[in-house]
Amino acid sequence: MNLEDLYRLLRNGHLEAQGIIDTVPDPLLLLDQNLRIRSASRAFFSTFKVNSDDTIDQYVYDLGNGQWDIPELRRLLEEVIPKSAAVVDYEVEHDFPSIGRRTMLVSAHRLFRPENNSRFLLLSIVDATQRRKREDEQAVLLGEIRHRMKNLLALVQALARQTTADGRSGEEYKDAFLGRFNTLVRAHDAAYTQEDQADLKEVVERTLNPYSEGTGAIVIEPGPSVVLEPGQVVSLSMVLHELATNAIKYGALSTSTGKIQIEWETETASPPRLRLSWRESGGPPVTPPTTAGFGTRLVQFSVSQELGGQVELNYQPEGLVVEIVSPL
């Protein structure tokens, strides 16, 4: 091989190496054993807003008016690296005058040249500030999702625990529990999918649909448009479901002739009030129950605690009449 070939070989090798360094999107520095910059990648210049003249042959700690004179970096270069061949993602947090506070991940690789015993250091510097921020935000979001999931599970637990098992077959218990469970699921769908609000008419129809399919036994009178908050959607849905299942067991829906009429109006007050009535007729003669079951308690509790309103259950012989008045 003659000298010219050798030169070409070396030159090609150099171009290749420089090409690789300039292609990598993260800043790269090549330091000699005295920690002076031998070479820097294009990404280094653009990331730290410096030019080649201010960089090459500079002592690393003097770079950019000493902005790299960081205690953590000194520890890495002077203590960690001499004891290991390579360091990966060593975290350096620093306020850079040109680009502000950043989290940098520094990786280093030691290169050794046996012919003259010299050592080089290849440093890659990854700006992980945005990634860290995203990771932190994701952690917060995940925590919140976990919290909400557990809360939902607690709701399901409450329904499972409080649905009466006494004097019921497993099948009956299952139906009663799943009826409540499905209502909760549908209510959550209605409450949280459309910009966190829903219309009363939709909520009433959606909740009572499973009980009135085709029979015309449930009449929902047209009423004014009422926008409900998620909490109101869930509690009203649960209330309507309890009233409907009660009607199937003991009331208007236990016979083929029974009817339920639902109507509502809004009253101007401060805050405005909703007055909703549920009127059963045509069913078997009604006698007031002697004890309040979970369903009745749920109705009362939901209206008073969640809606902040009042509910009246009138067990009139010709049919149950329920009046709910609640602030909107």
The distance of closest approach from Cβ of residue 211 to other proteins in the complex, given in angstroms and rounded to an integer, is: 21
322 exposure class (CB count in 10 Å sphere: 0-12, 13-18, 19+): buried
The encoded tokens of residue 252 equal 């208007």
Q: By CB under 8 A, what part of segment 280-299 binds other proteins?
A: 294, 297-298
> Which are the contacts of 273, defined by CB distance < 8 A and separation ≥ 6?
266, 267, 309, 325, 326, 327, 328
Looking at the Cβ atoms of 156 and 185, the one nearer to other proteins is 156
3-state secondary structure 106-152: EEEEEEEECCCCEEEEEEEEEECHHHHHHHHHHHHHHHHHHHHHHHH
The distance of closest approach from Cβ of residue 272 to other proteins in the complex, given in angstroms and rounded to an integer, is: 20
Q: Per rule CB under 8 A, is residue 159 in the interface with other proteins? A: yes
Among residues 80, 59, 81, the alpha carbon closest in space to that of 69 is found at: 59
Rounded Cα distance between 121 and 37, Å, is 9
Q: By CB under 8 A, what part of segment 52-81 binds other proteins?
A: none
Q: Per rule CB under 8 A, is residue 30 in the interface with other proteins? A: no
Looking at the Cβ atoms of 286 and 303, the one nearer to other proteins is 303
Q: Per rule CB under 8 A, is residue 163 in the interface with other proteins? A: no
Quote the crossing angle between the two packed helices 170-193 and 129-162, to the nearest 10°: 140
Q: Per rule CB under 8 A, is residue 155 in the interface with other proteins? A: yes
The distance of closest approach from Cβ of residue 127 to other proteins in the complex, given in angstroms and rounded to an integer, is: 29
The distance of closest approach from Cβ of residue 263 to other proteins in the complex, given in angstroms and rounded to an integer, is: 25
Size of residue set near other proteins by CB under 8 A: 23
DSSP 278: E
Looking at the Cβ atoms of 159 and 204, the one nearer to other proteins is 159
Question: Can you tell me which of 17, 139, 154, 219 binds other proteins, judged by CB under 8 A?
Answer: 154
The encoded tokens of residue 319 equal 């049919």
CB 74 within 8 A of CB 61: yes
Rounded Cα distance between 282 and 257, Å, is 6
Q: Per rule CB under 8 A, is residue 235 in the interface with other proteins? A: yes
Rounded Cα distance between 136 and 32, Å, is 37
The distance of closest approach from Cβ of residue 150 to other proteins in the complex, given in angstroms and rounded to an integer, is: 3
CB 322 within 8 A of CB 243: yes
Q: Per rule CB under 8 A, is residue 150 in the interface with other proteins? A: yes
Q: Per rule CB under 8 A, is residue 245 in the interface with other proteins? A: no
Q: Per rule CB under 8 A, is residue 158 in the interface with other proteins? A: yes
Question: Can you tell me which of 92, 123, 226, 238 binds other proteins, judged by CB under 8 A?
Answer: 238
Position of tokens 């999107």?
25
The distance of closest approach from Cβ of residue 116 to other proteins in the complex, given in angstroms and rounded to an integer, is: 57
Q: By CB under 8 A, what part of segment 130-149 binds other proteins?
A: 146-148
For other proteins, the binding residues (CB under 8 A) are 146-148, 150-151, 153-159, 161-162, 235, 238, 294, 297-298, 301-302, 305-306
